[in-house]
Amino acid sequence: MTKRTLGVEEEFLLVDPRTGRPRAVGQAVLAASGEGELTAELQQEQVETNTKPCSTLDELSRQIRSARSAAAAAAADVGVALVPLATSPLPVEPTIMPTWRYAEMARRFGLTVAEGLTCGCHVHVAVDSPEEGVAVLDRIRPWLAPLLALSVNSPFWNGEDSGYRSYRAQAWQRWPLAGPYAPFGSAAAYRAFVDTALATDTLIDEGMIYIEARLSWHLPTVEVRVADVCREPDDAVLVAGLVRSLVQTAAAAAARGSAPDPVRTEVLQLAEWRASRWGMEAQLLDPRTWRPAPAAEVQDALLAHVAPALDESGDLHLVRELLDGVLRRGTGAHRQRDVMARTGDLADVVLDAVHPSPVVE
């Protein structure tokens, strides 16, 4: 089997290295990074890195680490630190990046933009055609919430304990077209959905179709957007490896003529809510039954679902090892809460995550 290429986009906070408070220096960090190294995001308190297409998880791991290090160096040149947290634990009033698109978003969407400082991890996996891509979208829906549960890294929001493990996922639902989605059935139906959404004159462009997985509007890929930015590079590799194996498993099922799970979008919303609320620390909805089950058991079910694809690509041992690592040490949200419990200071929570991260025991 020719391995499908994959790549990762990661968004990061830019913070004061002494206080942990976000700073609106995105333009300066972009300038310091050199052409093409980083890309702008909605707010000036963040930047985004992008890997090139990779064939192996080892290559992806190297690129993720290299991109994080380059971004951290550019941030340091401007006097700030790079932090892989999906929301700011400390209070912040974000500053819009000064582009026409982002200014128009602020005009249209108000407080959603004014409070929209969130950082995600987006995984791209190559597909052969839009038809194959839509077949994949229809078949990976049940397994997206477990991916969120593995990546949760945003328990604190603007100085408060949100009560969630991924409050980013909750904030993201404020956008007009975000979250779980219904099956499409064909590439033509997907295109009709996009055209109808744009014709409502609610969204600015196709890039604002924020469903949890979509056909990339500018690359021949499926783009899975459900995860928080991960505190640990290994966790980003884990999420990406699972996404690629889900894509391969779904494409193979479609080629065999296997129908997608007809589970309703509303049930997927419940599954995602549970993943956002508790991450790996309570029960998730098991896609095999749509009943609550221990989070580790659901992740085992995900691994079993994609094991043939992982085995075929030679990734099974590594993905199992990375998954065991999360189960052993906990998610980014768990680490943040642990630091807060020990120090009582949200600034310590932020500074504990400054890249490069300290060794996690």
Strand-strand pairing, 160-161 and 156-157: antiparallel
Cβ atoms of 179 and 255 within 8 Å: the answer is no
Domain carrying residue 185: 6-343
Q: What is the CATH number of the domain that holds 301?
A: 3.30.590.20
Check residue 152 and give its pLDDT.
98
pLDDT at residue 3, rounded to an integer? 84
Indicate the pLDDT class of residue 37, thresholds 50, 70 and 90.
confident
Number of domains in the chain: 1
pTM: 0.96
- Listed in sequence order, the residues at least 6 apart from 41 whose beta carbon sits closer than 8 Å to its beta carbon are 11, 26, 47, 48, 97
Considering all CA atoms of the chain, what is the largest pairwise distance in Å, rounded to the nearest integer? 57
Within a domain: 165: yes
pLDDT mean across residues, the chain: 96
For residue 54, pLDDT over 50 is answered with yes
* Per-residue pLDDT band at 323 (split at 50, 70, 90): very high
End-to-end CA distance of the chain: 37
**Assigned domain for 358 exists:** no
Look at residue 237 and tell me if it is in a domain.
yes
What pLDDT band is residue 360 in, cutting at 50, 70 and 90?
Answer: very low
Q: Is residue 359 part of a domain?
A: no
Tell me, what's the pLDDT at 1?
54
329-339 pLDDT, tens digit per residue, is 999 999 999 99
360 within some domain: no
pLDDT tens per residue, range 283-309: 999 999 999 999 999 999 999 999 999
Q: Provide the pLDDT for residue 29.
A: 97
Alpha carbon of 71 to those of 65, 227, 235: distances in Å? 10, 20, 18
d(CA 14, CA 2): 38
Give the Cα separation of 342 and 350 in Å (integer).
Answer: 14
- Look up residue 309 and give its two tokens: 């694809």
pLDDT in tens, 224-275: 999 999 999 999 999 999 999 999 999 999 999 999 999 999 999 999 999 9
Does residue 83 sit within a domain?
yes
352 belongs to a structural domain: no
pLDDT in tens, 133-185: 999 999 999 999 999 999 999 999 999 999 999 999 999 999 999 999 999 99
Residue 30 lies in a domain: yes
